[in-house]
Amino acid sequence: MRSFTQRRRFLVASLLAAISTLLQFAIEANDADRPDILIADFESENYGDWTTTGDAFGPGPARGTLPGQMPVGGFLGERLVNSFHGGDASTGTLTSTQFTIERSQINFLIGGGAHPGQTCMNLIVDGQVVRTATGPNDRPGGSEQLDWQSWDVTPWIGQKASLQIVDQHTGGWGHINVDQIVQSDRKQGRETVRKDLHVRARYLHLPVRTGAPKRRMTIKHDGKTVHEFDIELALDKPDFWSFLDVGPFRGQSLQVETVLPAGQTLREALRFDDEVPNAWEIAHKFKRPQFHFTSRRGWLNDPNGLVWLDGEFHLFYQHNPYGWNWGNMHWGHAVSPDLLHWNELPIALYPRAYDDWCFSGSAVIDHKNTSGFQTGALPVMVAAFTSTGRGECIVYSNDRGRSWTEFEGNPVVRHKGRDPRLLWHEGSNRWIMAVYDEEDGQAIAFHSSPDLKSWTYESRIKGFYECPDLFALPVDGKPDESRWVLYAADGQYMIGAFDGHVFTPESNRKQPLWHGDFYAAQTFSNPPEGRRIQIGWGRDITFPDMPFNQQMTIPCELTLRSTRNGVRLFAEPVRETASIRARTHRWQAIELEPGKKPLEPVTGELLDLEGEFEIGQAHSVTWNVRGVPVVYNVEKQTIECRKHSAPLAPNDGRVALRILVDRGSVEIFGNKGEVALSVGARPAVTDRSLRFSAEGGTARILWLNVHVLDVNDQ
Ligand code: FRU
């Protein structure tokens, strides 16, 4: 029961609220009296009295997304102006007839390219462009979401005007999307929203909805920008919560600034907590791969700075912490004792400024302290990365990669290129940087340095693209017979000699090692026992309803072996994979008749299969792993899985296979690592079947071991 005073307070409050609503209504009533004037909603099959030139705008408004385009959203109704007809390369204009400006605002939805004058909408009065607007995107990634913009057109009220939508840009984001152009007394535009936050906990939680309009978010401390990034901020239902580590500002205040549609606030959008959001779900959620690295949240691509030190394998990686797609490049960081169990640590490298992202690079241990960066007993870890705003930069860490300091002489190499790979070259007693360089075609350039600080250009070799790696390996394990391998992002390599100045290939033909969903691999610096261990990015391996996207491939040990075709690079999963085998089922001599033969039920979700079969009379032999067929095509001599295939010749009529199955992928190694294939696949949780079959004739499995894996029990 309420007391009398409470009731009185309640009545007074209700009365005040009613008065304030009435007042507000009265204030708004003037504006509300005048309805908006629709200029165009583009809901017809054709453009009506608007005229086109060129072919970019097609015959009429598009029904949303056009072929080859990322999903377009945020428009009203069923159609919009979309100049992606014929892709980004097409150009054209779309012009309205004249209309009279009768309201103070023109509001419209716009998306696509951010190329002023080239992908834009112009307001033309007396033959002059008096207002112009573009979409939000000027770099790969981005979003096809339309968002409101608004022009104040008060100066031209009563005058005649026309609108011209322009697509004259032919490169990336060479298109423009427009919808719902309205004259109004009210702004439907965007406003800068600022919020002061007292930092009460370590993490600021940020809601993300993939496909929501990208907002530029700026975090300031004492007026100075400390973080600036793009985020598809979910003002309504988030897909997931991302987080920013604000630990360094605990107890102080931060200012958050972003631009939102008029009337929207950040009220519900930001939360503090000492835990990362959904920590339990992130660790245990159903579909997270179990022995492949995925980031707790957000996007990952290339492995960076792979280095071993003091019992820890370090995996740094290209990372967008605030979104499910590529963007905002940071260096994420994880460590592992065994390459299979990873512990994600705080982000290692943050962009210094919005336009200065941290692209790929590598790390080494400067055992001799040639750089002079070492401060303690532990040797210093030195990394090189591409700062998109500056060039190749050097950073160092004296606490095992936990904190990093910028070399004050950055950038150390300035050129058109990226992805520096550092290594120590014993022969010339110098550091080498192998780096992708496009000053003169696509090439890998070599620079040398005595101290990791001052670099001298040595030479270049053309015909390679992105993310180089360079290392020496013994052939067939013989230390006196070693060769250099120059390797690039596409998983192809050349064998040759490297004298610290020039790479001399033995043959100009590049050899493929990796196939499928695989890209931008790198090998560990300072590896234990001199092992050459490689991790790649499982490119396009996605997890649609998870807070994370993309995975790293299984770490592999690389070796050089003599084959009938010459010396070749082989990749096999690291021996540590044996340590997660929980149970093994063994079979021998299984005759495969055309038709399927299931094996006894194997109750494992995570699998490591190894075995060998004799082709016999079969046209193809299929190992169907939890519903994902891995097919050996006898005639083509290829191993095939989903949309991918790789060449694999039999040895004396026999083919050996090793297949690793995790929640996001199937990885296949043919003939003991002669060929490697990474395939994104999400086998149904309920399908635990293994089926082996021969088509067109009989074949024979000589031996087969099915290891059921358990990552948590070890
Ligand atoms: C390769 C790559 C690199 C670049 C990085 C950016 O996947 O394009 O060349 O440094 O990704 O994320």
User: In this structure, what DSSP letter does residue 218 have?
Assistant: E
CA dist., res. 640 & res. 714, Å (int): 33
What percentage of the chain's residues is helix, strand, coil (to nearest 5)?
5, 50, 40
Share of the chain above pLDDT 90, in %: 82
Best residue among 466, 490, 514 to mutate for probing ligand 1's pocket (most ligand atoms within 8 Å of CB) is 466
Best residue among 320, 328, 356, 418 to mutate for probing ligand 1's pocket (most ligand atoms within 8 Å of CB) is 418
CA dist., res. 559 & res. 531, Å (int): 9
Q: How many CB atoms lie within 10 A of CB 366?
A: 21
Atom of ligand 1 nearest to the CA of 318: 12
Q: How far is the CA of 41 from the centre of ligand 1 (A)?
A: 40
pLDDT, tens only, 337-373 = 999 999 999 999 999 988 899 999 999 999 999 999 9
Best residue among 295, 299, 318 to mutate for probing ligand 1's pocket (most ligand atoms within 8 Å of CB) is 318
Best residue among 467, 487, 514 to mutate for probing ligand 1's pocket (most ligand atoms within 8 Å of CB) is 467
Residue 209's nearest CA partner among 233, 175, 244, 226 is 233
How far from 627 is each of 223, 285, 612, 645, 691, CA to CA, in Å?
56, 22, 20, 18, 8
User: In this structure, what DSSP letter does residue 247 have?
Assistant: G
pLDDT, tens only, 2-51 = 344 444 444 444 544 444 444 444 334 455 568 889 999 999 999 999 99
Residue 169 in 3-state DSSP? coil
Residue 434's nearest CA partner among 375, 388, 486 is 486
Atom of ligand 1 nearest to the CA of 326: 12
| Contact status, residue 537 vs residue 302, Cβ threshold 8 Å | yes
The answer for residues whose C-beta is within 8 angstroms of residue 67's C-beta and 6 or more apart is none
Q: What is the mean pLDDT of residues 613-637?
A: 96
Q: How far is the CA of 35 from the centre of ligand 1 (A)?
A: 50
| Contact status, residue 102 vs residue 183, Cβ threshold 8 Å | yes
CA dist., res. 216 & res. 300, Å (int): 20
Q: How far is the CA of 300 from the centre of ligand 1 (A)?
A: 11
Strands 92-95 and 240-245: unpaired
Q: What is the mean pLDDT of residues 281-301?
A: 88
| Contact status, residue 588 vs residue 703, Cβ threshold 8 Å | yes
Positive/negative CA dihedral, 211, 214, 219, 225:
positive
pLDDT, tens only, 563-580 = 999 999 999 999 999 999
- Which band of pLDDT confidence, cut at 50, 70 and 90, is reported for residue 235? confident
Question: Is the pLDDT assigned to residue 210 strictly greater than 80?
Answer: yes
Q: How far is the CA of 330 from the centre of ligand 1 (A)?
A: 12
CA-angle at 95, arms to 93 and 100, nearest 5°: 155
Question: Is the pLDDT assigned to residue 597 strictly greater than 90?
Answer: no
Residue 618's nearest CA partner among 523, 701, 501 is 701
| Contact status, residue 632 vs residue 688, Cβ threshold 8 Å | no
User: How many separate helices (H) and strands (E) can be counted in the chain?
Assistant: 2, 54
Place of tokens 């090189």: 384
Atom of ligand 1 nearest to the CA of 360: 10
Residue spans of alpha helices (H) in 552-681:
none
Question: Is the pLDDT assigned to residue 275 strictly greater than 70?
Answer: yes
Q: What average pLDDT is seen over the chain? A: 92
Q: How far is the CA of 531 from the centre of ligand 1 (A)?
A: 25
Q: What is the pLDDT of residue 359?
A: 98
- Give catalytic residues, as residue numbers: 302
pLDDT, tens only, 389-431 = 999 999 999 999 999 999 999 999 999 999 999 999 999 999 9
Q: What is the pLDDT of residue 23?
A: 41
Atom of ligand 1 nearest to the CA of 466: 9
Atom of ligand 1 nearest to the CA of 539: 7
Ligand 1, pocket residues at CB < 6 Å? 301-302, 318, 329, 359-360, 386, 418-419, 466-467, 489, 519-520
**Higher pLDDT, residue 34 or 318:** 318
Question: Is the pLDDT assigned to residue 245 strictly greater than 90?
Answer: yes
pLDDT, tens only, 668-705 = 999 999 999 999 999 998 899 899 999 999 999 999 99
- Which band of pLDDT confidence, cut at 50, 70 and 90, is reported for residue 203? very high
Q: What is the pLDDT of residue 304?
A: 98
Six-digit token string for 597: 């033969």
| Contact status, residue 293 vs residue 692, Cβ threshold 8 Å | no
**Higher pLDDT, residue 20 or 129:** 129
Q: How far is the CA of 382 from the centre of ligand 1 (A)?
A: 20
Q: How many CB atoms lie within 10 A of CB 69?
A: 18
Q: How far is the CA of 489 from the centre of ligand 1 (A)?
A: 9
Q: How many CB atoms lie within 10 A of CB 292?
A: 23
Q: How far is the CA of 273 from the centre of ligand 1 (A)?
A: 32
- Which band of pLDDT confidence, cut at 50, 70 and 90, is reported for residue 713? low
What SS3 string covers 579-597? Answer: HHEEEEEEEEEEEECEEEE
- Which band of pLDDT confidence, cut at 50, 70 and 90, is reported for residue 714? very low
Residue 29's nearest CA partner among 189, 185, 188 is 185
Looking at residue 565, its amino acid is N
Atom of ligand 1 nearest to the CA of 467: 9
